[in-house]
Amino acid sequence: MITFDDRTDTFHLTNGLVSYVLTLAKTKYLLHRYWGPAIAEYHEPDPIPTPYRSFNLNQIPGDWRFSLTELPQELPAAGYGDFRPPALAITQANGAQYVLPTFQSYRIMAGKPELPGLPATQASDDEAETLIITLADAVAGVTVQLYYTIFKDLGIICRHQTVQNTGTQAFTIDQCASASLDISPQALDMITLNGADLKEAQIARQPLHPGIQEINSIRGFSSPQHQPFFALAEPAATEISGLVYAMHLVYSGNFSGTVDVDQFGMIRAQLGIAPDHFSWILAPGETFVSPEAVLNCSAAGLNGLSQNFHQLYRQHLLPKAWQDRPRPIVLNTWEAMYMDVSLAKIKAQAVAAAQAGIEVFVLDDGWFGERNDATSSLGDWQANLDKLPGGIPAVAKIVHNAGLKFGLWFEPEMISEKSQLYRQHPDWTLHVPGYPIVEGRTQYVLDLSRKEIQDFIVQTLSKYLQTGDIDYIKWDANRQLASLYSPNLPPERQGELSHRYMLGLYHVLATLTQRFPRVLFEGCCSGGGRFDPGMLRYMPQTWASDNTDPNCRMTIQNGFSLLYPPLVITAHVSASPNEQTGRKTALATRFAVTQCANLGYELDLTQLSPPELTAITDQISYAKQWRRLVQLGTFYRLPTPDQNHLFWEMISADQQHVTVLVYQRLAPANPGFPRYHLAYLDPAGQYRRADRIYGGDELMQVGLTLPPVHEDFYTEILNFTRVH
Q: Please, what is the minimum distance in Å from the beta carbon of residue 571 to ligand DGJ? A: 12
- Name the residue nearer to ligand DGJ (CB basis): 73 or 227: 227
Shortest distance in whole angstroms from residue 365 CB to ligand DGJ: 4
Residue 552 engages ligand DGJ in binding (rule: CB under 6 A): no
Q: How far is the CB of 319 from ligand DGJ (least distance, A)?
A: 22
Strands (E), 166-266: 171-183, 189-194, 202-207, 211-217, 229-233, 244-250, 255-261
Cα 472 to chain center, whole Å?
21
Q: Does 224 participate in binding ligand DGJ (rule CB under 6 A)?
A: no
Residues 637-676 that bind ligand DGJ (CB under 6 A): none
Task: Give the separation between CA 664 and CA 648, rounded to whole angstroms.
Answer: 12
Which residues have CB under 8 Å from 5's CB, separation 6+?
12, 42, 44
Number of residues that bind ligand DGJ (CB under 6 A): 11
Member of 148, 229, 245, 334 binding ligand DGJ (CB under 6 A)? 334
Amino acid at residue number 51: P
Report the alpha-carbon distance of residue 175 to residue 481 in Å, rounded.
20
How far is residue 481's CA from residue 467's CA, in Å, rounded to a whole number?
33
Minimum distance, C-beta of residue 527 to ligand DGJ, in the bound complex (Å): 5
**In angstroms, what is the minimal distance from the CB of 402 to ligand DGJ?**
22
- Between 150 and 573, name the residue whose CB sits nearer to ligand DGJ: 573
Q: Least distance (Å) from ligand DGJ to the CB of residue 526?
A: 5
> Is position 369 an interface residue for ligand DGJ (rule: CB under 6 A)?
no
Residue 410 near ligand DGJ by CB under 6 A: no
Q: What is the DSSP letter of 700?
A: I
**Least distance (Å) from ligand DGJ to the CB of residue 81?**
48
In the bound state with ligand DGJ, the residue whose beta carbon lies nearer, of 267 and 519, is: 519
| Residue 407 found at the interface with ligand DGJ (CB under 6 A) | no
Q: How many CB atoms neighbour CB 166 within 10 A?
A: 15
Min dist CB 183 to ligand DGJ, Å, is 38
Of 145, 478, 576, 578, the residue at the interface with ligand DGJ (CB under 6 A) is 478
Cα 12-13-16 angle, rounded to 5 deg: 115
Tell me whether residue 330 or residue 651 sits nearer to ligand DGJ (CB atom). Answer: 330
Q: State how far the Cα of 332 lies from the Cα of 185, in Å rounded to an integer.
A: 50
Does residue 535 bind ligand DGJ (CB under 6 A)? no
Contacting residue, 101, 275, 328, 527, with ligand DGJ by CB under 6 A: 527
Using DSSP's 3-state secondary structure scheme, residue 176 falls into strand
Q: Which among 528, 492, 78 is positioned nearest to 270, based on CA atoms?
A: 78
Q: How far apart are CA 645 and CA 635, in angstroms?
A: 17
Nearer to ligand DGJ, 262 or 522 (CB): 522
φ and ψ of 639, to 5 deg: -65, 150
Type of residue numbered 235: P
Nearer to ligand DGJ, 473 or 554 (CB): 473
Asked if residue 560 binds ligand DGJ (CB under 6 A), the reply is no
484 binds ligand DGJ (CB under 6 A): no
Is 252 a binding residue for ligand DGJ by CB under 6 A? The answer is no
- SS3 state of residue 309: helix
Give the span between the Cα atoms of 602 and 592, in whole angstroms. 15
For ligand DGJ, which is the closer residue by CB, 290 or 384? 384
Residue 527 vs 633, nearer CB to ligand DGJ: 527
| CB of 322 or CB of 543, closer to ligand DGJ | 543
- Per-residue binder mask for ligand DGJ (CB under 6 A), 506-525, x = binder: ------------------x-
Residue 292 engages ligand DGJ in binding (rule: CB under 6 A): no
Among 303, 526, 580, 664, binds ligand DGJ (CB under 6 A): 526
- The single residue among 522, 546, 549, 649 that binds ligand DGJ, judged by CB under 6 A, is 546
Long-range contacts of 459-465, Cβ-Cβ distance < 8 Å, separation of 24 or more: 460/381, 460/412, 461/410, 461/412, 461/512, 462/512, 462/515, 462/516, 464/381, 464/392, 464/408, 465/512, 465/515, 465/516, 465/519
Distance of CA 229 to the CA centre of its chain: 8
Q: Mention every residue, 6+ apart, whose C-beta is less than 8 A from residue 405.
A: 328, 359, 360, 361, 399, 471, 472
Residue, CB closest to ligand DGJ? 365
364 binds ligand DGJ (CB under 6 A): yes
CB of 304 to ligand DGJ, least distance (A): 32
Nearer to ligand DGJ by Cβ, of 137 and 364: the residue is 364
Task: Please report whether residue 476 would count as binding ligand DGJ according to CB under 6 A.
Answer: yes
Residues 6+ apart with CB under 8 A from 424: none
**By CB under 6 A, residue 472 contacts ligand DGJ:** no
Q: Report in angstroms how near the CB of residue 686 gets to ligand DGJ at its nearest.
A: 44
Burial of residue 654 (CB within 10 Å: 0-12, 13-18, 19+) is exposed
Residues designated catalytic: 476, 546
Residues at the contact surface with ligand DGJ, assessed by CB under 6 A: 334, 364-365, 409, 476, 478, 524, 526-527, 543, 546
